[in-house]
Homo-oligomer: A and B are copies of this chain.
Amino acid sequence: MPLSRAANGSPEPGANEELISWRYANPGTLQIDCLGAFISRDPFSEESSSEEDEHISRNTSLDLLALAVKEEYEDGFTDAAKKISLPYHSSNITHISLDIGGTLTKLVYFTKNDDSPQGGKMHFKYYQTENFESEVLRFLQKKLVNKRRIKNREITHILATGGGSCKFQTLMRKTFPKVKIIAKDEMECLITGLDFFITEIPREIYTYDYNQDKIQFLDVPKITTKDDLYPYLLVNIGSGVSMIKVVGPEHDNFERIGGSSLGGGTLWGLLSLLTTAQDYNEMLDMAKRGNNENIDLLVGDIYGTNYNKIGLKSNHIASSFAKVFKKLKNLKRDPKAAPLTISEKLAQFNQEDISRSLLYSVSNNIGQIAYLQAQRYNLKRIYFGGSYILGHKQTIHTLSYAVDFWSKGVMKAYFLRHEGYLGSVGAFLNGPVST
């Protein structure tokens, strides 16, 4: 698929096909025509915005964006990202893809348009990996494979990527004996997916200006040389964090240079113990309302002022969660009293404040390590993907601020509206040919 077609949004078959060799656009395996792809029913699209509708513009706020990330399904399923239209794709797509992570399984499948011989939509859903058998396989069984509920085609392949693709392979083969289960390399899929979103999907990638509390969509880049796209650092935040340096589109042009075990799983685990939140969305809502200054020890709490000599501001977090220890120590001064129970201890603090503190500390830490890894290889662009972010304002603020602060403005943090689906989209696009 030639770049220029998607880049300027108009079909010019054959034009500039020599520009760049896309991993997913290898002519031998290409099954999917991404030409003119766009986010479906998007309030931010140029067609749907007008001058009267000023608040929905290409410069918008994160709060508004959050409303335009999720998709509602007829079956009441809302934990999904917006569909993507592929208006020029006409042939059948006989595969679906799964990215089976440590906590979540992300699913991508395609349906053709009812009313037209051409075009269709990519669908996105996610499930808890713990419920792989009861939910993921059941969904596949009911809707996709056995009953052929996706019109005009039969699923012949399931493309599986992510850590669990190996672990669940036997189970999938047993459940779908007529379907080929093909494992796709995790890193390759993540990068294919990200390259697709960067180069093909308008209003997908955005940056956040924390001074003005505005997001700005990136133009789908007019790519004429490799330098317009590469090199970059992909920071994928799922249960854990992987950092991948990408210097070009070829198979050997990427490397996992680091990571961190402090990721989404850490935040979810701690908050599921320390709060009454039932799921991650509730945790994020709590964090939104909380004040970390009741939990974290700030530079001002220690110094009574800024520590000017080394440029630490008084509201800089000196130690995450450190006020908790101090406060509990103070409460226990009466030696005759019985030790506090865990519920009594927790009652001293606001769940919302605890959520905000932990969200900050995990996000700050990822931002700092991302910066250090990026400067090590002189990478100026950092893309944050994975299901940890979920368009959440404080997370995006913290990551943007950390990259900006540490790099003194030299590096830039980029985010995606389909942040959790890099791997599954990559597997979907790479197609059934084994890599």
The answer to whether A262 and B339 touch across the interface, beta carbons within 8 angstroms, is: no
Decide yes or no whether A355 CB sits under 8 A from chain B.
no
Nearest Cβ on chain B to A388's Cβ, whole angstroms: 11
- Say how many copies of this protein the assembly contains: 2
The answer to whether B376 and A328 touch across the interface, beta carbons within 8 angstroms, is: no
A164 CB contacts on chain B under 8 angstroms: 302-304
A240 and B342 in contact (CB under 8 A), knowing A270-B270, A330-B130?
no
The answer to whether A322 and B269 touch across the interface, beta carbons within 8 angstroms, is: yes
The answer to whether B303 and A345 touch across the interface, beta carbons within 8 angstroms, is: no
Decide yes or no whether A253 CB sits under 8 A from chain B.
no
Decide yes or no whether A91 CB sits under 8 A from chain B.
no
Decide yes or no whether A319 CB sits under 8 A from chain B.
yes
Nearest Cβ on chain B to A254's Cβ, whole angstroms: 10
Cβ proximity bits A257-279 to B, threshold 8 Å, 1 near / 0 not: 01011111110111011101010
A278 CB contacts on chain B under 8 angstroms: 332, 339
Total contacting residues, chain A, CB less than 8 A: 74
Q: Which of A263, A273, A309, A310: most chain B Cβ within 10 A?
A: A273
A269 and B102 in contact (CB under 8 A), knowing A185-B309, A303-B163?
no
Q: How far is the CA of A326 from the CA of B272 in the complex (A)?
A: 10
The answer to whether B317 and A261 touch across the interface, beta carbons within 8 angstroms, is: yes
Q: How far is the CA of A265 from the CA of B299 in the complex (A)?
A: 13
A318 CB contacts on chain B under 8 angstroms: 102, 163, 239-240, 261, 265
Find A166's partner among B187, B304, B330, B361 (CB 8 Å cutoff): B304
> Which chain A residues (163-182) contact chain B, with CB distance < 8 Å?
163-164, 166-167
A319 and B264 in contact (CB under 8 A), knowing A102-B301, A166-B303, A303-B166?
yes
> Which chain A residues (268-306) contact chain B, with CB distance < 8 Å?
268-270, 272-274, 276, 278, 295-297, 299, 301-305
A240 CB contacts on chain B under 8 angstroms: 297, 317-319, 322
The answer to whether B319 and A263 touch across the interface, beta carbons within 8 angstroms, is: yes
Decide yes or no whether A30 CB sits under 8 A from chain B.
no
The answer to whether A274 and B273 touch across the interface, beta carbons within 8 angstroms, is: yes
> Which chain A residues (5-31) contact chain B, with CB distance < 8 Å?
none
A101 CB contacts on chain B under 8 angstroms: 302
A321 and B266 in contact (CB under 8 A), knowing A260-B365, A307-B163?
yes
Measuring CB to CB, which residues of chain A are less than 8 angstroms from any residue of chain B?
A: 101-103, 128, 130, 163-164, 166-167, 185-187, 238-240, 256, 258, 260-266, 268-270, 272-274, 276, 278, 295-297, 299, 301-305, 307, 309-310, 317-326, 328-330, 332, 339, 341-343, 345-346, 349, 361, 364-365, 368-369, 372-373, 375-376
Further pairs besides A128-B329, A239-B302, A240-B319: 19, Cβ < 8 Å: A102-B302, A102-B318, A102-B319, A163-B302, A163-B307, A167-B304, A239-B319, A266-B319, A266-B320, A268-B325, A272-B328, A272-B345, A273-B274, A273-B324, A273-B342, A273-B346, A342-B346, A368-B369, A372-B372
* 16 contacts across the A-B interface (CB closer than 8 A): A102-B301, A128-B329, A130-B326, A164-B304, A167-B303, A186-B307, A187-B310, A239-B318, A240-B319, A262-B365, A264-B322, A268-B325, A272-B325, A273-B346, A273-B349, A276-B339
